[in-house]
Chains A and B, each alone.
Chain A
Amino acid sequence: MKILVCMKQVPQKDAPLKLNESGAWIREDVSYEVNEPDAYALEEALRQKEKHGGEVVVITSGPTRAGQVLREALAKGADRAIHLEDNAFVGLDAFNTARAFAEAIKDEKFDLIFTGLQSDDYGYAQTGVVLAELLGWPHATIIMQIEKTDGGIQVKRELEAGYFQFVDMPLPAVLTIQSGINKLRYATLIGIKQAKNKPLRKVTLAEVQAVLGPNLQKIEKLYVPQKTKNTEFLQGPAAEVAKQLVEKLRNEVRVL
């Protein structure tokens, strides 16, 4: 099976974020990491390839720094990478990002496209499904298991509150992958070495510009959310804080 994995670089989970001058985005001088569900999507693609053969291709969009996500993926075992490289890609909405990806892969023939179920930065949870619609492919979201069948694949969808559902579907298809579908591997030293010789195709903004339209939605303002609760901060040495907290639990929360 030939599988494309859409990956995104996002600010690290505990990175302190500051607003930039525009007030509509963050200052970009923070540490980045791969969007967590995308790491699981890559791992699943590698496992499918190990079982059924084929090829794993990874794609991302973003400035030069985003290439790190692709290098890590190549080191873990992806065969080649596509980087839509331009700072402007950071500001695209899900519709435009999907259009750019569709354009960048128009000469390829994939059986499956994986994305993480959502990104840790925007959290729109849309790009994968939008891409499926643009390609005219079926899709399934929040996937916890994938088995090849005679006519296509059978996937296990996670529903809410502990429910699941198996869905049979034809190929090609787009799947959005849930964290925890598998156990992530680490890149090996030899993998890191081999990654340097794997093909990485760069796509400029100009190459996909023709299919992009104006964004359909716009961030007017980004800000630190207003606290809705009166939070009481307990301070002091650990032993002291423990005492204070127990007093609160006894006298205010009344659970002791």
Chain B
Amino acid sequence: MSSILVVVEQREGKLNRVSLETLAAGQALAADTGWTLEAAVVGNGVSGVAGEIAGQKLARVYAIESAKLEPYTPDAFAAALKQLLETKQPKLVLMPHTYQVRDFIPKLATSLGRTVISDCIAYKKDGDKLVFTRQMFQGKLAADVSFTCDAPWFVTFQNGAFRADKVEAGASAAAIETVNPAIADGVIRNRPQEVFKEAKQAVDLTQADIIVSVGRGIKEQKNVELAKQLAEALGGEIAASRPICDAGWLPMDRQIGSSGQTVAPKLYLALGISGAIQHIVGMKGSRAIVAINKDSEAPIFEIADYAVVGNLFDIVPPLIEEVKKAKG
């Protein structure tokens, strides 16, 4: 019987919620293919997470336990999962496209002579063939990609591609099978230290109702002032895409995107932001998105509610005036 294996992510015994999105994808794929859905959780002391996952609609949960799996290393995770895959032989292996998965899944797939179709946003079933949709060229184009090798087929899904609240609960708890992989001495070469947060974050952008965010289109550091004035007029916070923070034009704690904060304000006003995937994942949940960009093909317009194709330096000054007028 063919099966789909979803590998969920946990940190310190807590489920990373993005894993539920991947489970939702797995349930949809299982319904479309008729394949059995199973899940696995990897770590040391993961029975709690395994139990939580077992409540969902799936056939079985593998709790892959070893003292060598904590803290996370790509060597141990790849070794442990390789053993499980060789025994259980699932056809399809799904994971969320997190920084941790990105760190070990290419190694795991390569060790089995296979490949990963990474950062997918959807799938299609074309007859017997599964095709996975992913963004390319920073989101300007989409590609339908298929596997041209034997199973197992590895797929990672982008944050937000499926809805966690669509996960169906099971009629009864699924069986949990504990697996103790053999990880020989010397397999683990990296010695990771404690995870830490840099300076205490001064601003919590997740609490802001209005965010004015700047991207490369702002051109020079001194122009950031203009965006700040607009943010101030609107009573919102200033934020930026990664290149602006990399350049030091705004502090790192103002960064929106996969490596920064994830926000969902009432209004997200994007100035000169092209809309690379890494930025979009941090703001696409915003209730209203306004994009001002001179490039009519900028991917940000794909998700904008209101769009202005034009020079932000022409539009922002009168916009500040109009906002001030409206606010009296």
Q: Which residue of B lies closest to A256 (CB)?
A: B326
Q: How far is the CA of A113 from the CA of B219 in the complex (A)?
A: 33
Size of the A side of the interface (Cβ < 8 Å), in residues, is 82
Contact A123 B304 (CB under 8 A): no
Contact B322 A165 (CB under 8 A): no
Contact B139 A225 (CB under 8 A): yes
Q: 1/0 per position for A211-239, CB-CB distance to B under 8 A?
A: 00011111111111101111111110011
Asked if A140 meets B304 with Cβ closer than 8 Å, knowing A93-B115, A242-B319, A253-B267, the reply is: no
Which bucket holds chain B's interface residue count? 35 or more
- Which B residues are in CB contact (< 8 Å) with A13? 138, 216, 274
Q: Which residue of A lies closest to B192 (CB)?
A: A167
Contact A139 B74 (CB under 8 A): yes
Asked if A245 meets B148 with Cβ closer than 8 Å, knowing A139-B74, A163-B197, A253-B288, the reply is: no
8 Å CB contacts to B: which residues of A114-145?
A: 120-126, 129-130, 132-134, 138-142
Contact B148 A214 (CB under 8 A): yes
8 Å CB contacts to B: which residues of A23-56?
A: 24, 26
- Which A residues are in CB contact (< 8 Å) with B323? 246, 249, 256
Q: Which residue of A lies closest to B201 (CB)?
A: A162
Q: How far is the CA of A183 from the CA of B305 in the complex (A)?
A: 35
Does B140 interact with chain A (Cβ within 8 Å)? yes
Does B314 interact with chain A (Cβ within 8 Å)? yes
Asked if A14 meets B111 with Cβ closer than 8 Å, knowing A220-B145, A241-B315, the reply is: no
Contact A123 B277 (CB under 8 A): yes
Contact A216 B115 (CB under 8 A): yes
Can you name 26 A-B residue pairings with CB atoms under 8 Å? A24-B143, A94-B106, A94-B115, A120-B138, A123-B119, A123-B134, A123-B135, A124-B119, A129-B106, A133-B111, A141-B103, A162-B197, A162-B261, A178-B259, A180-B243, A214-B149, A217-B147, A225-B299, A225-B302, A231-B307, A232-B306, A246-B319, A246-B326, A249-B323, A249-B326, A255-B234
* Additional pairs, 7, CB under 8 Å, beyond known A123-B134, A253-B267: A126-B118, A142-B103, A217-B146, A219-B145, A228-B303, A238-B310, A256-B327
Q: Which 6 A-B pairs have the closest CB atoms?
A: A180-B246, A216-B115, A242-B318, A129-B106, A138-B189, A126-B106
